[in-house]
Structure 1
Amino acid sequence: MPNEEEFIGNTPRGLDELSVWTSRHVEAALEPELPIIDSHHHLYDDERGRYLAPEMLDEISSGHNVVATVYLQHSASYRTEGPEALRPVGEVEFAAGVARAAATQSVRLCAGIVGHADLALGDQVLPVLEAQQEAGNGYLRGIRHGATWDAGRAGYGRTFARRHLLLAPEFRAGYAHLSRMGLSFDAWIFHPQLPELIDLLQAFPETPVVLNHCGGILGIPPHTDHEQVFNVWSRHIRDLARYPNLSVKLGGLGMLYGGHQFHHDIEPPSSETLAETWKPYVETCIEAFGPARAMFESNFPVDKQSCGYGALWNAFKRLTRSYTDSERACLFHDTAKKFYRLDLPPPA
């Protein structure tokens, strides 16, 4: 068994325990009027625990002005019968039900939905994408086919996609259908894999892509030389930013893959501590992509392993105090609205 300083999986604590832990440090929302679109969160009710609309709304009640959210696939509510390739359609059906229920509410949960389809099916993925669009009831905006792979500790407790998935001809045959159907792609990979995304962007310049979680920065063995990791990652980020069809999500930094060890502390970190820790990564991404191609995300409840929802948004607000009002509007609201084509009223 790994000792406590080693990586013990990305979700070592259950949601009930996390709720107790995060309640030990509660902050008043800074700038509570600032409109926010949470561009990346999950919902589920299974062996991982219960985190559905009421639990998400409870997080939002921390005082931040979250006006809408984007739902990201998380292997939730899959169909239990029928062809294997079509089972992820159940997740889009589930998220679309949440979106319909929230359509007239003050917080538009799941205003955009990103589902999953096995793009490695090649041309055979087309009926799956068509079924996803029908199930989405107008809310489906994109597809995520996670391609994370690493030979080190990041593989603990999980199953990876095959190595070099983004380069596989059959994957690219399926990927080619996305732009034809008006769908974007959420890229979830680790930072050593970023050059493979560059190759994909070169091959398909017409497909809108958003890089998840600042590019999946690893800080666990063997990636424990943080200066070296930062230098490699930041060079890749600057290279990626040259492709205009790519945007970036600013977040996911609370995942335990980053090796920041907040989950070992008796109390969760303050927004000041989070801002100081995350500053190099967030500032590098904004500098490279610009506010018009960068959007903040909570990645909850996954990032709840490291912090509370209110502290997370306070940290992002602290990190952007030097930006103009229009730049902050992009980072917190407008970029996500534009990328995911969200049908929302102008923010008050």
Structure 2
Amino acid sequence: MQVVDPHLHFWALGQGNQPWLEHPTPNLLGDYSPMARDIGPQTLLGERGDIELLGLVHVEADTVNPIAETQWLTGELAEYDKLNWALVVGVDLSQPAAPAQLAAQCALSEQVRGVRQILNVHSDPLYDYVGRHYMQEPLWRENFAQLARLGLSFDLQIYPSQMAQAADLAARHPETQFVLNHAGMYVDRQGVEGWRDWRDGMRLLAAQQNIAVKLSGFGMLDHRWTVGSIRSLILESLDTFGIERCLFASNYPVDGLYASYADIWHAYAEVVADAREEEQHALFVGNAQRIYRL
């Protein structure tokens, strides 16, 4: 099975760049201590099973020093000359130094394609990532405008309650490619209202033609997921955004806490088994290649 994986993470704990992994404390992921080990390209290649990896996109891994992460990754991935790869790097757009950091990231590697800054805010501390509404901050919005000048995309990680504001941001920056992470992170699953918030928010986002969506990360909020439990989320996303704006991803190694790498990809394949061959190719390979310029 051939795939381009547009969302995964590597790290080397000895660098001290991911403090959240040094002393794992259970959170929305549950017990994530199995991830507290060095994970790099060779680790992935040893755990991929029967998946033929044609390319990958590394997304910043909640690092305290994004520049050091990019330097390390560039060296690690340069050894794999037969593997197409790209980087979505970290930059804190709320900081005055953000424009200089964006320029520095681009100068480090020609494989830099985009930026991610996690934006998830939730009233429940278990699910709250950042504790502030970055998209409302004037300096953050001012620095965000620099992405288009540099030809960078933005990986958008939010909850449904933030989707209306994100749709407005995308409308104000039609020249910037947005990629919604993890199918919009359907977090409030206790009743009808949570489903409606997710569904309606996804439709608001899809109305902006510069937003695509990664179908990934299902295990983060559903640790016992099955093909049946993710089917409706995937099919609703496909109907809402269209095949051409959806791309499957593994969220390795995070979703490896709940299923093997190969099992994740085969589950996706089962959900879309009756799609046309060209549609399947787009979802598993072509859209990621196009959006991240692989």
Q: Normalising to structure 1: TM-score of the pair?
A: 0.75
| Aligned amino acid, residue 193 of structure 2 | Q
Q: Could you tell which deviates more after superposition, 223-232 or 239-248?
A: 223-232
Residue in 1 aligned with 2:161? Answer: 192
Q: Please show how residues 18-33 of structure 1 align to structure 2 within 5 Å.
A: 32=1
Percent identity at matched positions?
27
Residue in 2 aligned with 1:66? Answer: 53
Residue in 2 aligned with 1:24? Answer: none
1:98 offset after TM fit, Å?
2.3
Q: Indicate yes or no: 2:140 matched with 1:152.
A: no
Correspondence for 1:132 among 83, 89, 105: 105
Residue 240 of structure 2 aligns to a residue whose secondary structure is helix
1:64 offset after TM fit, Å?
1.5
Residue in 2 aligned with 1:142? Answer: 114
- Long gaps (5+) in structure 2: 14-21, 23-35
* Alignment partners' CA distance in 1, 2:118 and 2:219: 18
Correspondence for 2:204 among 239, 244, 248: 239
CA contact (8 A) 1:164 1:196 kept: no
Correspondence for 1:51 among 39, 43, 53: 39
* Alignment partners' CA distance in 2, 1:154 and 1:236: 22
- Long gaps (5+) in structure 1: 1-31, 79-86, 263-272, 343-348
Residue in 1 aligned with 2:88? Answer: 114
**Could you give the per-residue CA deviations for residues 246-300 of structure 1, whole angstroms, max 9, x where no partner exists?**
0000011011xx2x342xxxxxxxxxx6221100111111111111111011001
| Aligned amino acid, residue 244 of structure 1 | Q
* Alignment partners' CA distance in 2, 1:202 and 1:54: 40
CA contact (8 A) 2:3 2:284 kept: yes
* Alignment partners' CA distance in 2, 1:63 and 1:99: 21
* Alignment partners' CA distance in 1, 2:204 and 2:162: 13
1:226 offset after TM fit, Å?
4.3
Could you say which structure has the larger radius of gyration? 1
* Alignment partners' CA distance in 2, 1:102 and 1:227: 47
Q: Indicate yes or no: 2:200 matched with 1:227.
A: no
* Alignment partners' CA distance in 2, 1:197 and 1:321: 32
| Aligned amino acid, residue 202 of structure 2 | I
Residue in 2 aligned with 1:19? Answer: none
Q: Indicate yes or no: 2:241 matched with 1:289.
A: yes
Q: Normalising to structure 2: TM-score of the pair?
A: 0.88
| Aligned amino acid, residue 131 of structure 1 | A
CA contact (8 A) 1:214 1:248 kept: yes
